[in-house]
Chains A and B, each alone.
Chain A
Amino acid sequence: MSNKVIHVLYNDDDILMDAVRKTRAAHHHIEEIYTPFPVHGLDKAMGLAPTRIAITSFLYGLVGLSVATTMMWFIMIQDWPQDIGGKPSFSYIQNMPAFVPVMFEMTVFFAAHLMVITFYMRSKLWPFKQAENPDVRTTDDHFLMEVAVHGDVDQMVSFFEGTHAVEVKVIEKH
């Protein structure tokens, strides 16, 4: 079993979108698409599942809110309820308006940072990571579609050449 893939290069995002639709219609499996900038609607054309990162962010926000509440309840009410400038420290709710700015900021802080970290982890991004760029031109002005080979290679190459590709390459992938 060979690990061959076809790299198809395009120089326009509209042509790329067209090609993606044709490829999907012909039931070729798209491994990956490399573009220099976000192409609006590409994920829908590829049929990618929607992201759930907003849901994680919401949950992280709840964590942040709980942390802030617990922390200030313990410090300000439970552990050492001092009278500071006449603020009522008998119960959390009595002094809550003073805690709201912290609660808000902690919620945003947790929601934002943990979501970003989640994004890095899920997309496997970190410093010193080896770049996975199959062709340097895809960061500048070319669009590359990587398709898994199954069946007749020549027939597939001719199919992709028919999609206004500027270049079609068959590559042995390890």
Chain B
Amino acid sequence: MVLGLLGIGYSFFTAPKTIEDVERIEAENAAHGHHGDAAHHDAAPHAAHGSATEATAPSHEGGEAAHDTTHAVAAEAPHEAHDTIQAEAAVAAAGHEGHNNNDGDPHTQEAHAPHADAHAAHEGHDDAHAAHKEHEEHLKHTLVQLQNKPWSALYVSALFFMLISLGALAFYAIQNAASAGWSPVLFRVMEGISGYLIPGAIIVFLVFIAGALDMHKIWIWMDKDVVAEDHLIQAKSGFLNKTFFLIRAAIFMGGWIFYRQYSRKNSLAQDEATDNSYFKKNFKAAAGFLVFFIVSESMMSWDWIMSVDPHWYSTLFGWYVFASFVVSAVTVIAMVTLYLKSVGYLEYVNTSHIHDLAKFMFGFSVFWTYLWFSQFMLIWYADIPEEVTYFKTRIEDFNLPFFGMVVLNFVLPILILINTDFKRLTWVVVLAGTIILCGHYIDFFNMIMPATVGKQWFIGAGEIGALMFFLGLFIFVVFTTLTKAPLLAKRNPLIEESKHFHY
């Protein structure tokens, strides 16, 4: 109970602040939209431009400035045109000096604006109209990305924590089906973590419904206008349509929650039983669940993650997602266990149990890296255009998160957790666990964000707020669930072995 209260206290301490954070950021984004953004960008050029009011409306030009900053390809046109007029038109000299193709430089962004304006003035209406149209398209594009930002931030965090809890459930099922002798003292911890599956799945499902109701554009194949012009998505619409998508999601989540509730019920009933019938039921259920899980997990990864890039596909993606969340789940199991142990609630857990969990963390980290690299290297090596854009956008726009997560998820864990003595030290496991969890959050961030917000990505209040909110909710639910049952399964046939487990 004290533990539950601690968890409750902690989550209340975290949650309210962050809900406000999330709401505030969403409100801000909704209010500003893209126009706020465009206005912000064009403030500087307008000042430089002075009273030059041409046939094009001011909003055009301002927009063009914004356009330059965000769209490299489209920016080419004004650049080139500008070179031709450079000789005849005396344009602001200051602007010229800064002129190069480096779009990321804020200085250059400002410098572009007068050029573009001058260009519009000199070349007349035709070009201006063409640029205008292109620019409108671009603004629409950016607007969608910016509007997606808070949704994606919410979705990434919601999905991340739900999958952690699903990973803990899968790990639990594996331990049951394998009749593992070391882990039964940790079963109640795993059951507690998988308790988050119900609220987590409901929240993720609400995000799907919001998508189906066109409240956000995380899945562009849900947009009728996009599909009408896109042959590739049309060809996939037999699978990627809203109804079937929601039905599939409901079946997957329903199946997972059903197994979770069923095995939890059996596990508690086994405590009071006089024979091992509930244990046997759990064994069979675990075997059945694992079959269902691997099929549903694979399809889940296509539906919920891969289909944010509906033009791209990868065959080992399901395994890759699985490795990512199962290593996070094992890490969370280890950290919750260490916490409960440190406050004295787990009498029979010794360093050998922690050592085993740390070995799983290590092993699954390497497994994740193997899949990450296999996916990356095969696509990089063959360099087929329709596949390689996936990594091209990530390397160009998400360079630090994309390669940073390899360091966090592979290099640091492998160096920290390779040592047997280190795997038994609480602070080392917690340190490695923190690194792994951060790394895998960024992993999910990298899977979703490039497709939904593209270059507009930023880890700001929305992302951190959503992360903190779901972390608080996760801790609250998990620790509340942990108070609902004794932390040691009483009559599990393997519990004695597990109590005396020693490596």
* Partner of B376 from A54, A86, A97 at Cβ < 8 Å: A97
Q: Report the separation of the CA atoms of residues A98 and B380 in the bound assembly, to the nearest whole angstrom.
A: 9
Cβ-closest chain B residue relative to A87: B381
Q: Which residues of A contact B232 (CB under 8 A)?
A: none
CB–CB A97/B418 < 8 A: no
CB–CB B418/A100 < 8 A: no
Which of A54, A58, A97, A100 is most buried by chain B, counting CB atoms within 10 A of its CB?
A97
CB–CB B418/A86 < 8 A: no
CB–CB B381/A97 < 8 A: yes
Report, as a range, how many residues of chain B touch the other chain.
under 10
- Does any Cβ of A come within 8 Å of B230's Cβ? no
For window 89-104 of chain A, which residues contact chain B by CB distance below 8 Å?
Answer: 97-98, 100
Closest beta carbon of chain A to B416's beta carbon, Å? 13
Q: Which residues of B contact A97 (CB under 8 A)?
A: 373, 376-377, 380-381
- Does any Cβ of A come within 8 Å of B383's Cβ? yes
For window 339-388 of chain B, which residues contact chain A by CB distance below 8 Å?
Answer: 373, 376-377, 380-381, 383
* Partner of A58 from B380, B381, B418 at Cβ < 8 Å: B418
CB–CB B373/A98 < 8 A: no
Q: Which residues of A contact B381 (CB under 8 A)?
A: 97-98
CB–CB A86/B383 < 8 A: yes
Q: Report the separation of the CA atoms of residues A86 and B384 in the bound assembly, to the nearest whole angstrom.
A: 12
Q: Report the separation of the CA atoms of residues A7 and B471 in the bound assembly, to the nearest whole angstrom.
A: 64
Q: Which residues of B contact A86 (CB under 8 A)?
A: 383
* Partner of B377 from A54, A58, A100 at Cβ < 8 Å: A100
Q: Report the separation of the CA atoms of residues A58 and B414 in the bound assembly, to the nearest whole angstrom.
A: 12
Cβ-closest chain B residue relative to A55: B419
How many residues of A are in contact with the other chain, CB < 8 A? 6
For window 182-226 of chain B, which residues contact chain A by CB distance below 8 Å?
Answer: none
Q: Which residues of B contact A58 (CB under 8 A)?
A: 418
Q: Report the separation of the CA atoms of residues A97 and B418 in the bound assembly, to the nearest whole angstrom.
A: 24
Q: Report the separation of the CA atoms of residues A58 and B418 in the bound assembly, to the nearest whole angstrom.
A: 9
Q: Report the separation of the CA atoms of residues A100 and B373 in the bound assembly, to the nearest whole angstrom.
A: 9
Q: Report the separation of the CA atoms of residues A58 and B420 in the bound assembly, to the nearest whole angstrom.
A: 13
Q: Report the separation of the CA atoms of residues A98 and B379 in the bound assembly, to the nearest whole angstrom.
A: 11
Cβ-closest chain B residue relative to A97: B377
Q: Report the separation of the CA atoms of residues A86 and B418 in the bound assembly, to the nearest whole angstrom.
A: 38
Cβ-closest chain A residue relative to B379: A97
Q: Which residues of B contact A100 (CB under 8 A)?
A: 373, 377
Q: Which residues of A contact B420 (CB under 8 A)?
A: 54
Closest beta carbon of chain B to A39's beta carbon, Å? 16
Q: Report the separation of the CA atoms of residues A97 and B377 in the bound assembly, to the nearest whole angstrom.
A: 6
Cβ-closest chain B residue relative to A54: B420
Closest beta carbon of chain A to B355's beta carbon, Å? 15
Closest beta carbon of chain A to B358's beta carbon, Å? 16
Q: Report the separation of the CA atoms of residues A97 and B406 in the bound assembly, to the nearest whole angstrom.
A: 13
Closest beta carbon of chain A to B125's beta carbon, Å? 44
Q: Report the separation of the CA atoms of residues A98 and B373 in the bound assembly, to the nearest whole angstrom.
A: 11
Q: Report the separation of the CA atoms of residues A172 and B380 in the bound assembly, to the nearest whole angstrom.
A: 70
Q: Report the separation of the CA atoms of residues A58 and B419 in the bound assembly, to the nearest whole angstrom.
A: 10
Q: Which residues of A contact B376 (CB under 8 A)?
A: 97
Cβ-closest chain A residue relative to B377: A97
Q: Which residues of A contact B377 (CB under 8 A)?
A: 97-98, 100
Q: Which residues of B contact A54 (CB under 8 A)?
A: 420
The 0/1 profile, CB within 8 Å of B marked 1, for residues 39-82 of chain A is 00000000000000010001000000000000000000000000
Q: Report the separation of the CA atoms of residues A86 and B420 in the bound assembly, to the nearest whole angstrom.
A: 44
Q: Report the separation of the CA atoms of residues A100 and B418 in the bound assembly, to the nearest whole angstrom.
A: 20
The 0/1 profile, CB within 8 Å of A marked 1, for residues 397-432 of chain B is 000000000000000000000101000000000000
Closest beta carbon of chain A to B390's beta carbon, Å? 15
For window 75-128 of chain A, which residues contact chain B by CB distance below 8 Å?
Answer: 86, 97-98, 100
For window 427-486 of chain B, which residues contact chain A by CB distance below 8 Å?
Answer: none
Q: Report the separation of the CA atoms of residues A142 and B373 in the bound assembly, to the nearest whole angstrom.
A: 51
Q: Report the separation of the CA atoms of residues A100 and B381 in the bound assembly, to the nearest whole angstrom.
A: 12
Q: Report the separation of the CA atoms of residues A97 and B378 in the bound assembly, to the nearest whole angstrom.
A: 9
Closest beta carbon of chain A to B381's beta carbon, Å? 7
Q: Report the separation of the CA atoms of residues A100 and B377 in the bound assembly, to the nearest whole angstrom.
A: 9
The 0/1 profile, CB within 8 Å of B marked 1, for residues 119-143 of chain A is 0000000000000000000000000
Q: Which residues of A contact B380 (CB under 8 A)?
A: 97
Q: Report the separation of the CA atoms of residues A10 and B418 in the bound assembly, to the nearest whole angstrom.
A: 38
Q: Report the separation of the CA atoms of residues A86 and B388 in the bound assembly, to the nearest whole angstrom.
A: 15
Q: Report the separation of the CA atoms of residues A28 and B466 in the bound assembly, to the nearest whole angstrom.
A: 66
Cβ-closest chain B residue relative to A101: B377
| Interchain residue pairs A-B with the least CB separation, the first 9 | A97-B377, A97-B380, A98-B381, A100-B373, A100-B377, A97-B381, A97-B376, A58-B418, A86-B383
Q: Jot down 11 A-B pairs with beta carbons below 8 A, ordered by A.
A: A54-B420, A58-B418, A86-B383, A97-B373, A97-B376, A97-B380, A97-B381, A98-B377, A98-B381, A100-B373, A100-B377
Q: A54-B420, A97-B376, A97-B381 are in contact. List 8 more A-B contacts (CB 8 A).
A: A58-B418, A86-B383, A97-B373, A97-B377, A97-B380, A98-B377, A98-B381, A100-B377
